[in-house]
Amino acid sequence: MSAPASPLFADRRAIGLLLALLALLLALPALVNSYILSVAILILYFAYTGQAWNVMMGFCGQLSLGHSLYVGVGAYTVAALFVHYQISPWVGVWLAVVICTLMGLVIGFLAFRFGIGGTYFALLTIAFAEFTRIGFDHFDWVGSSGGFFLKVESHGTLDLLNLRGSPTMFYYLALAMCAAAFVFCAWLLKSRAGYYWQAIRENEEAAQALGINTFRWKMLAVGISSAMTSLAGVFFAFYYNNLFPEQIFNISRSIEIILGPIIGGIGTLFGPILGAAVLTILADGITELVAAMGLEIPGVKQVFYGVVLLLVVMFLPHGIWPTLARKLGLGQGSGK
Amino acid sequence: MDRRQFNKTLAAAGTLASLSPFGIVRAQGAKLKVGVLLPRSGTQAFIGQSCQFGADIAPAVIKQMMGVDIELMNADTETNVDTARSRAERLISEGAQVLVGPFDSGAAGAIAQVAEQKGVPFVINIAAAPQITEQGYKYTFRNFPTAVDLVRNGLALIGDLFQATSTVPRTAVFMHVNDTFGQAMAKGVGGLMPRLTQLPFKIVDTISYDPAAKDLTVEVAKAKATGADFLLLVCRLNDAIILRREMVKQRWNPMGIIGPGNPGMYENQFYSALGKLSEHCISNVPWYNPKAELTKLIEAQMIKQFPKEKLMFHALNVGFTFESIMIAADAYKRARTSNSKELTEAIRQTDIKNRMMIGGPIKFNAKGQVEGIGSAAIQNLNQRPTVVLPVAAAEAKPVFPVPGYVKKS
Amino acid sequence: MPIDLIFNVVIAGVLTGLVYGLMALGLSVIFGVVRVVNFAHGEMMTIAMYATVVLFAAWKLDPFLAIFPAALAFFVFGYFLQSTLINPFITRPEHSQFMLLVAVAIIMVNGLLMIFGPTARNVQVDYQLESWELGKILFDKARVYAALTAMATSAALFAFFKFSRPGKAIRACADNHLGAKVVGLNVKHLYALTFGIGSACVAVAGCLMVLLVDVTPVLGPAYTLLAFVIVIVGGLGSMGGALLGGVLIGVSEAVAGLFITPSAKSMVSFALLILVLLFRPQGLLGRKS
Q: What is the mean pLDDT of residues B317-335?
A: 93
Among chain C residues, the shortest Cα distance to B212 is held by C222
**Residue B34: helix, strand or coil by DSSP?**
strand
CA distances from C218 to A291, B178, B234, C42, C114 (A): 23, 18, 22, 10, 12
What distance in Å separates the CA atoms of residue B230 and residue B169, rounded to the nearest whole number? 7
Q: What pLDDT band is residue B8 in, cutting at 50, 70 and 90?
A: very low
> Looking at residue C100, which CATH number applies to its domain?
1.10.3470
| Candidates B41, B208, B217; nearest CB to C263 | B208
Q: What is the mean pLDDT of residues C255-281?
A: 89
**Which of 52-81 (A) contact C at CB < 8 A?**
57, 63, 65
Smallest CA–CA separation between B15 and chain C, in Å? 24
Smallest CA–CA separation between A202 and chain B, in Å? 36
User: Among A252, A327, A312, which residue's Cα sits nearest to residue A279?
Assistant: A312
Q: Where are the domains of chain B?
A: 28-145+291-373, 148-285+376-393
| Candidates B7, B48, B184; nearest CB to A292 | B7
User: Among B114, B165, B121, which residue's Cα sits nearest to residue B141?
Assistant: B121
- CA atoms A101, A107, A110, A114: torsion sign: negative
Is the minimum CB–CB distance between B85 and chain A shorter than 8 Å?
Answer: yes
| Candidates C104, C263, C264; nearest CB to A310 | C104
Smallest CA–CA separation between A262 and chain B, in Å? 20
Among chain A residues, the shortest Cα distance to B367 is held by A153
pLDDT score, position C46: 96
Smallest CA–CA separation between B53 and chain C, in Å? 14
CA–centroid distance for A21 within its chain = 20
- Does residue A7 surpass a pLDDT of 50? no
CA distances from C283 to C28, C231, C286 (A): 12, 8, 5
Chain B residues lying within 8 Å of C265, measured CB to CB: 210, 218
Range of the domain at C59: 3-279
pLDDT score, position A154: 52
- Does residue A18 surpass a pLDDT of 90? no
Taking only the tens place, the pLDDT of each residue in A234-285 is 999 999 989 999 999 999 899 999 999 999 999 999 999 999 999 999 988 8
Q: Determine phi and psi for B386, rounding to 5 degrees.
A: -130, 130
| Candidates A137, A241, A298; nearest CB to B178 | A137
**Residue C92 resides in a domain:** yes
Chain A residues lying within 8 Å of C236, measured CB to CB: 119-120
- Does residue B350 surpass a pLDDT of 70? yes
Q: What angle do CA A20, A25, A29 make, to 5 degrees?
A: 140
CB spacing of C98 vs A65 below 8 angstroms: yes
Chain C residues lying within 8 Å of B217, measured CB to CB: 8-9, 12-13, 16, 254
Strands B230-234 and B171-177: parallel
Chain B residues lying within 8 Å of A147, measured CB to CB: 105-106, 129, 131, 180, 183
What distance in Å separates the CA atoms of residue B277 and residue A40, rounded to the nearest whole number? 52
Q: What is the mean pLDDT of residues A127-143?
A: 94
CB spacing of C124 vs B43 below 8 angstroms: no
Q: Which of A11-20, A70-79, A138-147 has the lowest mean pLDDT?
A: A11-20
Taking only the tens place, the pLDDT of each residue in C51-103 is 999 999 999 999 999 999 999 999 999 999 999 999 999 888 888 898 899 99
CB spacing of A313 vs C96 below 8 angstroms: yes
Is the minimum CB–CB distance between A183 and chain C shorter than 8 Å?
Answer: no
| Candidates A124, A137, A305; nearest CB to C106 | A305
Q: What is the mean pLDDT of residues C173-202?
A: 88
Q: What pLDDT band is residue B19 in, cutting at 50, 70 and 90?
A: very low
Is the minimum CB–CB distance between B383 and chain C shorter than 8 Å?
Answer: no
CB spacing of A127 vs C104 below 8 angstroms: no
CB spacing of C222 vs B43 below 8 angstroms: no
CB spacing of B250 vs C131 below 8 angstroms: yes
The CATH class given to the B148-285+376-393 domain equals: alpha beta
Q: What percent of chain B has pLDDT over 70?
A: 91
User: Among B37, B112, B45, which residue's Cα sits nearest to residue B76?
Assistant: B37
What is the CATH number assigned to the segment(s) B28-145+291-373? 3.40.50.2300
CB spacing of C262 vs B248 below 8 angstroms: no
Chain A residues lying within 8 Å of C279, measured CB to CB: 114
Rounded to a whole number, what is the distance in angstroms from the first to the last CA of chain B?
73
Chain B residues lying within 8 Å of C263, measured CB to CB: 178, 208-210, 213
CA distances from B60 to A201, A317, B63, B226, B326 (A): 63, 52, 5, 52, 11
Contact between residue B178 and residue C263 where contact means Cβ atoms under 8 Å apart: yes
Q: Which of B15-24, B212-221, B383-392, C25-34 has the lowest mean pLDDT?
A: B15-24
CB spacing of B222 vs C262 below 8 angstroms: yes
pLDDT score, position A119: 84
CB spacing of A298 vs C277 below 8 angstroms: no
Chain A residues lying within 8 Å of C114, measured CB to CB: 297-300, 303
Q: pTM for the full model?
A: 0.90
**Which of 134-173 (B) contact A at CB < 8 A?**
134-138
pLDDT score, position A1: 38
- Does residue C35 surpass a pLDDT of 90? no
Q: Report the number of distinct structural domains present in chain C.
A: 1
**Residue A154: helix, strand or coil by DSSP?**
coil
- Does residue B55 surpass a pLDDT of 50? yes
Task: Name chain B's partners: 3 or more CB pairs within 8 A.
Answer: A, C
Contact between residue A226 and residue A104 where contact means Cβ atoms under 8 Å apart: yes
CB spacing of B134 vs A149 below 8 angstroms: yes
Among chain A residues, the shortest Cα distance to C85 is held by A314
Q: What angle do CA B126, B131, B136 make, to 5 degrees?
A: 105
Is the minimum CB–CB distance between A4 and chain C shorter than 8 Å?
Answer: no
Q: Determine phi and psi for C140, rounding to 5 degrees.
A: -75, 120
Contact between residue A265 and residue A50 where contact means Cβ atoms under 8 Å apart: no
Q: What percent of chain A has pLDDT over 90?
A: 63
pLDDT score, position B231: 96
- Does residue C237 surpass a pLDDT of 50? yes
CB spacing of C274 vs A309 below 8 angstroms: no
- Does residue A3 surpass a pLDDT of 50? no
- Does residue A315 surpass a pLDDT of 80? yes
Is the minimum CB–CB distance between A207 and chain C shorter than 8 Å?
Answer: no
Q: What pLDDT band is residue A157 in, cutting at 50, 70 and 90?
A: low
pLDDT score, position B409: 42
Taking only the tens place, the pLDDT of each residue in A59-68 is 999 999 999 9
* Mutate which: C106, C129, C137, vs B, most B CBs within 10 A: C129
State ipTM.
0.89
What distance in Å separates the CA atoms of residue A149 and residue B113, rounded to the nearest whole number? 12
Chain A residues lying within 8 Å of C102, measured CB to CB: 255, 259, 309
